[in-house]
Amino acid sequence: MFEHEALLYSGPEEFLAGTAAFLREGVRAGEPMLVVVDAAKIAMLREELGADAERVEFADMADIGANPARIIPAWRQFVDRHGNVPVRGIGEPIWPERTAAELAECRRHEALLNVAFQHDLAFRLLCPYDVGRLDPEVVHGAHCNHPIIAADGVRESSAAYPGVEAHAQPFTDSLPEPAQTPRGLPFDRGTVRLVRRFVGAHAIDAGVSGARVEDLVLAVDDLATNSVRHGGGRGLLRVWEDDSVLLCEVRDGGLIEDPLVGRVKPDGDRIGGYGMWLVHQLCDLVQVRSSPARTVVRIHTRIS
């Protein structure tokens, strides 16, 4: 079965002790391995592993996981590339400098890993958590999202892990309300065309760079079109700024039941289904909340 394990560590020495042992075990077994952590930790692991580092693929989490929703596709590509051969990975998407919104989506990502890879019987993934620097609530999330917890050289089952079925449910937690009053645009079939102009004008006023304005307009237009087609025929667009981020939010009366929406690349022959995937590729952060009452999709674009 898929083994999803949290490594609780404090400081560089404990990080190296836990991760290097995990990788050396994979070297001895001849297993393909991928490590996705920050650049400093990659350098540490290369030095620690010596010649064994040549048996490991490395990637910078700052590149792959800036938007946490892009991490599962990267792991999927790695796993599928090796077929049914046992593989192992290390991924650390959570660090203290993450914003509150990013941490919320990282926690959601860690939960959804259990759903995305539940049928991959030959994949073992270790997720380090720096308990010396992270908030206790974040560490508690590790216990909730990982069936196995490793700490001080001991591996044990997590009593807080609710099972994969719980993580497969629609994500209904509320998003925080804006600190300032957002600009709003209700839309329906007859007025959805106004969305592009509304978003573009606000993005330019906020200082979003030219090419990124086009990406944002495309993403929001796709969300609004989806609301008209599948979310009750109407929706509400809200736009506001928060420090150096422009936020655009689309609300409608639909329900998104697929917990992995936007995190699984549609098949090349598939007609449709590319909308949320495209939004995740175009935007810095995407937050999806859905319940029988409504769906909210909030996208974040950094202002350059």
- Of 110, 138, 167, the last residue of a domain is 167
Q: How far is CA 45 from the centre of its chain?
A: 24
Contact 139, 131 (CB under 8 A): yes
Question: Is residue 223's pLDDT more than 90?
Answer: yes
Q: Copy the structure tokens of residue 68.
A: 């946490």
**85-123 pLDDT tens trace:** 999 999 999 999 999 999 999 999 999 999 999 999 999
Other CB atoms closer than 10 Å to residue 169's CB: what's the count?
13
What local confidence, expressed as pLDDT, does residue 77 receive? 96
**Rounded to the nearest 10 degrees, what angle do helices 100-116 and 136-145 cross at?**
10
By residue range, what is the domain housing residue 238? 183-302
Question: Is residue 183's pLDDT more than 90?
Answer: yes
Q: Is the residue at 231 inside a domain?
A: yes
- What's the rounded mean pLDDT across residues 171-184? 93
CATH at residue 244: 3.30.565.10
If asked whether residues 191 and 291 sit together in one domain, one would say yes
CATH at residue 48: 3.40.50.300
Greater model confidence, 266 or 116: 116
What local confidence, expressed as pLDDT, does residue 168 receive? 93
- Of 138, 167, 196, the last residue of a domain is 167
With bands split at pLDDT 50, 70 and 90, how would you rate the model's confidence at 269?
low
If asked whether residues 285 and 260 sit together in one domain, one would say yes
pTM for the model: 0.94
If asked whether residues 128 and 251 sit together in one domain, one would say no
If asked whether residues 232 and 117 sit together in one domain, one would say no
Contact 80, 62 (CB under 8 A): no
Q: Is the residue at 159 inside a domain?
A: yes
With bands split at pLDDT 50, 70 and 90, how would you rate the model's confidence at 16?
very high
With bands split at pLDDT 50, 70 and 90, how would you rate the model's confidence at 266?
confident
If asked whether residues 41 and 119 sit together in one domain, one would say yes
**56-72 pLDDT tens trace:** 999 999 999 999 999 99
Q: Is the residue at 172 inside a domain?
A: no
Q: Is the residue at 173 inside a domain?
A: no
Q: Copy the structure tokens of residue 105.
A: 């989506």
Greater model confidence, 284 or 272: 284
What local confidence, expressed as pLDDT, does residue 273 receive? 58
- What's the rounded mean pLDDT across residues 5-20? 97
If asked whether residues 203 and 281 sit together in one domain, one would say yes
If asked whether residues 153 and 215 sit together in one domain, one would say no
- Distance, in Å, from the CA atom of 60 to the CA atom of 67, rounded to the nearest integer, reads 13
What local confidence, expressed as pLDDT, does residue 268 receive? 61
Overall domain count for the chain: 2
Average pLDDT, the chain: 95
With bands split at pLDDT 50, 70 and 90, how would you rate the model's confidence at 271?
very low
Q: Copy the structure tokens of residue 83.
A: 């077929």
Q: Is the residue at 90 inside a domain?
A: yes
Residue for token pair 């792991």:
75
- Of 167, 200, 223, the last residue of a domain is 167
